[in-house]
Structure 1
C-alpha cells in the first residue's frame, strides 16, 4: 500500500511519518487481503482538519470493515450508504434528542470541515475483519496527534474505554472532556444516550468566545 503524504499539511511534522509509517506500509504491502479504506483515504481525517483548526476531537476505533463504507473519518460513511452502521445510527439518535435534528446521510465531512477531528485509533482494517489492525502500530500516530493537540483547550469526546485510555495523552486541564459509554448497540444505553455531547460542546465553545459547530451540516 502506497501513501501520498503531500496533503498532510502541518501534521507531516509528526515523527510517526518518518519513524513508524514505513514498517506499517511494508506490512500492508505484503497483506493479500483487501485493506480498507483505499490508500488515498487512510489519512483523510488529518488532511481535512489541520492541527490549528481542531476545536473538537472524536476518537473512533477502526474503519468500518464493510467495503464501500469507510472513507477515512471515524464513524463517517459515504453519503449513499444505507442502512447506517449501528454506532452511527445511535450517534444520530442522540443528536436528534440533543438538538432535534436528524441528518439525511452518514457523511460527517461537514463536521470535519468545521474543526471536528474524526480520528480512528487504527487507520486501516482488512475487509470483514474488525479490529485486525489494532496492533499494527497506528496507535503511535494517535498518541502523537493527541500530544500535538494538547497545546490549546479542545473539546474531547471520549466515547468508550478504548478512547478514554488514549485520552490519557491529553493533559491540558482546560480541555472539555466528555467521557461516556461508546455509541455501539452493546453500550449506548449505559451512558451515551442522554449525554448531550453536541450541545455541551457548543456551550463550551460559545463560553470561550468561539464559533459553535453546526452539527446539522451534511454533505
Structure 2
C-alpha cells in the first residue's frame, strides 16, 4: 500500500511520510490486513485527512482507535457507518451536544462525515485495529505518526480548537501550543466516565462555536 493524502496534507506531511518509521508502519499494516480481519477498510485508513483538508481545518477531535466490530469503522474517530447502531460513547456525545446547544432532534446516524466536511479532523491515535480486539494495533507506529500530525497542526496553524476527551487524549495533546490554540478538556464520553460526572456539562460544542465566531470563522453545524 502506498498511502495518498489530500494534497494539502501531502504537502504538510511530506517530510514525515518519507521517514523510515513510516515505511515500516505501512509495511506492518499491510501484513496485518493480509493476515487478519482489520478495520476500517484499507481504503479508508486516511479518511480523516481526505474529508478535512489542512487548509480548512478548524477543530481537532482525538480518539483512541477505530471501532473493532464488523462494518462499524469508517476512518473517522467516534464515527460509524450509516445503518450501524450508535455506540455508547457517541450517544453520550450527541446527548451532551443536544443539551449544550438546546437542539431538539437526536441524530439518527452515527456517521460523522458531516462534521469532517466542515473542517473537523476526527483523528484516532491508531488508524487501524484487528476485528474484535480493541487497541490491537497500538504496538505499530501509528502513535508516532499521529503525534507528528498533532504537532504539525500546533506549529503551522493558529486558532484551532482541540477537543481533548479523556486521559488518553490528554497525553496525546500534551504538546499543543495553548498560547495560540483553544484546548478544551473533559472526561471521556464513555458510559463509565460519563456516569462519574466527568463528561456531561462540559459545553464543548457551544464553546467551540463561540471561539470560532470570535476568530471570524464559520461556526460548526453540529
Scaled by the length of structure 1, the TM-score of the pair is: 0.92
Q: Which runs of 5+ in 2 are unaligned?
A: none
Of 140, 148, 159 in structure 1, the residue corresponding to residue 152 of structure 2 is: 148
Of 134, 137, 143 in structure 1, the residue corresponding to residue 141 of structure 2 is: 137
Partner SS, residue 174 of structure 2: helix
Deviations 1:77-116 (A, max 9, x none): 111112x111111111111111224212111111111111
Q: CA deviation at 1:30?
A: 2.7
Q: Which runs of 5+ in 1 are unaligned?
A: none
Of 62, 73, 77 in structure 2, the residue corresponding to residue 74 of structure 1 is: 77
Instruction: Determine if the alignment matches structure 1 residue 39 to structure 2 residue 42.
Output: yes
Q: After TM superposition, what 4+ stretches of structure 1 lie above 6 angstroms from structure 2?
A: none
8 A contact 2:159–2:215 mirrored in 1:
no
Q: Distance in 2 between matches of 1:8 and 1:115?
A: 13
**Count of residues paired in the alignment:** 212
Per the alignment, residue 107 of structure 2 pairs with 103
8 A contact 1:3–1:39 mirrored in 2:
no
Q: CA deviation at 1:3?
A: 4.2
Of 187, 197, 221 in structure 2, the residue corresponding to residue 214 of structure 1 is: 221
RMSD: 1.4
Scaled by the length of structure 2, the TM-score of the pair is: 0.91
Deviations 1:173-200 (A, max 9, x none): 1311110000011101332111011111
